[in-house]
Amino acid sequence: MSVEGASERGVAGNELAATDCAGFAGRWRERGVRAGEGEDAGRADSVYSCVPLQWFREMLIDGVGDGKLKRFRKMLIDGVGWGKFKMFWEMSLDGVEHQHIRYNPLKDSWILVSPHRCLRPWSGQTEPPTEEEPPQNNPLKPGAVRGNGQTEPPAEEEPLQNNPLKPGAVRGNGQKNPLYTSTYVFPNDFPALLERVPEPPQSEHPLFQAKQARGTCRSERDTSTYVFPNDFPALLERVPEPPQSEHPLFQAKQAKGTCRVMCFHPDSNITLPLMTVDEILAVVQEWTNQLSELGRRYTWVQIFENKGAIMGCSNPHPHCQVWASSFLPNEPRIKDRCQKEFYTKYKKALLVEYVEKELESKERIVIENADWVALVPYWAQWPYETMLLPKHGHPQRLTDLTDAQKRSLAEIMKHLNTKYDNLFKCSFPYSMGWHGAPTGPTKIPGDSPHWLLHALYLPPLLRSASIKKFMVGYEMLAQSQRDLTPEQAAAKLRECDHLVHYKTLKKM
């Protein structure tokens, strides 16, 4: 910024502008060094030495005031680093980078963006990253006995380890995994959904409504894939009706479903970015198979992966889950309504329009190939959240993808996950999942033109491999809030290598 520019803003008369910038910077640097002792003094010295005089000149011309000068001085003495100092100064000049709210048309909600919070000191919980070692007794290992007692012949090549997801392992319900060599899907041993359940108590009051929830968490096996029922499912296929109430505030309905666990690979030490494209393609194909089978019976089939202990993953073995339910869950229900309203008004799918605009601007794109684009949504909630979208063809469900789209999907998933891991040089934790048009016995291809298939990656890490974003307080009681802007997050991810994984470099 020039002195003339400052004069136009009425600040040229600020007495600080007449200060000799070089002398001021030198004196400030000396004060900073004297303020520290030992290691702190050296740190302050190294930080001050990297601050160009132009930054001090602009501070003085702008007349930032004693309060901000003291804050700058404290930041530098505390050794926050040139990167954060530069970020704070840029945000102090650029009004666009100040806090604002952004609208999420997919969910009819708003998110508060507060980029200046990236500079706040952190003395809260940190979680040092560790290379996750597979448990010794892994129930997902080929030949292992799972928790339900089911077994398969143990592996002959290596002794069983305490990893319930490895080939040959015994899971918590006593069942034993087969010696699978590719993907493996099985019913969740402790499902959240069951297929047979009773009806819940009914109430006529609108504020106390409940419904039966049907679903299942099962698995199937063949020579190349292994899908098995979740040993502890959240949904079951056979459940009684819940007790009914005539009061509108106490409503319940039956919920039926099934929950399955799907292993990506027989090796417990591997993660998706370290798998080959062909191995990831097998995962994509099995996702399609699961959606095709379960979608004939259930209204919603949720494919999701929780990666990393920080995300509550109970086993580091590479795997995901498939929950199918007789009801439409909240998130897809809201998305279905919002996309339908947009389509009715504009005669075009919301996400089709969105992809076109993002491809034009390139501002939030992380990586793309011939068929897919990964971007940080304009309305992203999590620090490094990304959305994976098809660029052509308007597929509404995974089952709509062509063979070419599946292969290019496997490629971009490998590249995106490599970028994630390279960002903080760690196995990047996240929750991810697929959203597409609802399913069910009455659904047919092309019946939901307001939908566009997409995947979401929701990672919690904020500043480093050990500091995560906590969704608490304001986020739980008011609305979502994020620190760095989606544009900043996209830029950082774009800079990361997508071809060479940091673990590969370590071995070189």
The residue assigned the tokens 């999701």 is 304
In total, the chain counts a number of residues equal to: 508
Phi, psi angle pair for 481, to nearest 5°: -140, 140
The token pair at 393 is 């063809």
- What are the two backbone dihedrals, phi and then psi, of residue 250, each rounded to the nearest 5 degrees? -130, 70
Distance CA 449, CA 33 (A): 64
Pick the catalytic residue: 319, 435, 498, 501? 319
The DSSP-derived string for 87-116 is: HHHHHHH-GGGS-EEEEETTTTEEEEE-GG
Residue written as token pair 């793309």: 368
Question: Is 319 a known active-site residue?
Answer: yes
Beta-bridged to residue 215, according to DSSP, are: 257
Place of tokens 């089709």: 352
The answer for 63, left when phi > 0, alpha when psi is -120 to 50, beta otherwise, is: left
Range 491-506 burial, b when 16+ CB lie within 10 A, else e: ebbeebebeebbbeee
In Å, how far are 16, 409, 415, 492, 501 from 427, measured between CA atoms?
A: 49, 21, 14, 17, 10
Residue 59: name the closest of 71, 50, 47 by CA. Answer: 71
Which residues make Cβ contacts (< 8 Å) with residue 146, sequence separation at least 6?
Answer: 139, 140, 164, 169, 170, 171, 172, 173, 174, 175, 176, 177, 186, 189, 228, 231
Query: What is the set of active-site residues?
Result: 319
